[in-house]
Structure 1
Amino acid sequence: MSQMVEKGVFNIPLLSNELDAEIQHKIDMKTKPQGSLGRLESLAAQIARLQHTLSPCTDTAMHLVFAADHGVCEEGVSPFPQEVTAQMVLNFLQGGAAINVFCRHNNVGLKVIDAGVKTSLPEHPDLVSCPVASGTRNFAQEAAMSAGELAQCLQTGAEMVDCWAADAQVLSLGEMGIGNTTTAAAVLAALLNIPARDIVGAGTGASPEMQVHKAQVIQAALERHQTHQLSPLEILQSVGGLEIAMMTGAFLRGAALKKLLVVDGFIATSAWMVAYQLSPHIRDYTVFAHQSHEQGHQPILSQLGIVPLLTLDMRLGEGTGAIAAIPLIRLATAFLNEMASFDDAGVSQSA
């Protein structure tokens, strides 16, 4: 990580506020009562500020799905076997998953990254194979990954943005990995010092009894690794996932390239939270797409003072919630660019 910082890979620029008054004036002079487009107005202002222009554009968007397996599944924390990770990746490659449908209908590019799937995957034009390991180790017994594996994940995540999203104005990330709601809950509980029982949810359909077990496994692991004494990256190394670590690198790199980051649900939030604790002004580049139906997402967003764009009771993952928000993002820039002003339309303003 330190070498990548030295090379500027993760150097996130502070946004200038010199256009703020002009941006707000342009929004206020549209043919509407001031503030009547609600959060679309603040969203338009955020994007214009990020792109440092009065005519922002969100036409080009790229979505990266990171997939990996999790050793903590050995503890019986998921109702699904690990083979489902690879099976779902094949579904992505065949174009049959929800994320494929959502991306197609919103003109969003899509690539799937094998960050560490346990089962071998076939070559495919939409699959980028760069596994760091065949899944993480069982964090209930030992660190999920080595320091070297973590560094490789962060670097690879950044490289995926450079390779596949260099020309995109909007970057969103998704994930696939049986057991990764357990991993995400462990990361977030450690980062925010929250008891595991308060943020563990159903994931892919865990029963109430299994959720209690998940919380116990996580809490014991946090105590074993003494995560209260660890830095964000050490927490990620101890209880994180290969795909979550790559997503952290991708979020940091996306912000360094001044892209609008669209954060999906609970698991994507765990990766973003690591990035945020490393570089807090990444928040200026971020839009939270939706509030996941996963139990822990709402209190975490509330703790951050974040109100997401949508609340649709989604908890699928894959980044589907992020893509569901793309039309709203594009509407925000469209009204700013295309809506007539009072002067243009010859409409009298309010007294």
Structure 2
Amino acid sequence: MLNGNSKTAITLLTIEPPSWTDELLNYLKDHGYLVTMMTAMDDELKFLKEQSPDAIIIVNPAGSQHFFQRIRAQTSHPLLVLITDNFTGDLPYETADAVLPPRPHYVDCQLQMLLHLRAANEDLQKQNLTLNDEVKKLKEELIQRKRTNNEVELLKNAIVHNISHELKTPLLQVKAAVSLIAEDLKDNQLSQLAVNATARLEILVKNVTLLGSSLDINLGPVITRDAIEYARRNLGRVWEHREDGTRIKVHLEDHLPPVLADKQAISTALQLLMDNALKFSKKDIEVRAVVNGDHVKISVRDFGIGIAKDQLDAIFEMFYQVDSSSTRRYGGMGVGLAIVRIILERHNTEINVESRVDEGSTFSFMLKRIDI
């Protein structure tokens, strides 16, 4: 038998050989094996270094198990085969790769199969080592990326929180001053421009502040009614919506169970959805909450301009505007719905939207109920 371009090397250990040994030896030689005869079991380490056979065949069971054990203690490479016509007594099944009868053709077929399987197994082991190295490398890269992402996240959070903190106080001072000027100069065009500019600045700071609050999520039991009322009160404090409170119609199912949420974050999401609904609709808007299986479904509906189907996914992207004139017509920066999505993703839920152009839109999401 040939192994690539070289013969398969076999060491035949012939201590007290049976009568059929010569027939087996000649058959193997005639079929392409490079056979080396060995008559002693001593110094197997030296033998392995000098011979380096592909297989070792013993034709006498006596002492074979102990010899195979000594070989296996040195290396896993040679195929260890016992050939015997006497199956009585202790056979080295635990250490031998095969125990075969003395039929030359059968021995040849089994050797070819076993050597092929061993070669395939060694290739798989090499590939496995390579894959393990690649997995280890990828794990190290993943750990490094996570570390980098965590550092970026911390930096981003710090920037957002610091900006919102630093802008709040001066904005309140500007807002108070402009409000006094507007009272003294009623119907004055310049004072109205100042009021509008302050309102736009307030929206900008509000969005930064809301983004900052949406980054820290602490889940716990939340009363749905409280979250909605908290959002409505906060919205009423915004200059732009100071007179819109009566336009928000709340419809809550009786005996609503608590939900698993972060009250501040969910109130922020509801405030942004209400703000969006009021902005794009001159009519009243509806806020509803109903039990839906193991969840509570909360929805905000408006009867405004609606959204085209091809824009339903894009509206949740940061700084996206429904159309090129929306900033001028409706105000805002196009970040509110993006913040809503971020908040809900951190609650392991998603925002759904149903809309028809010129009829209005309904935004809804589900929160897991808690039975206390």
| TM-score of the pair, normalised by structure 1 | 0.25
- State the structure with bigger RCO (CA 8 A, min sep 6), 1 or 2: 1
* Between structures 1 and 2, the one with greater strand share: 2
Higher gyration radius (CA): 2
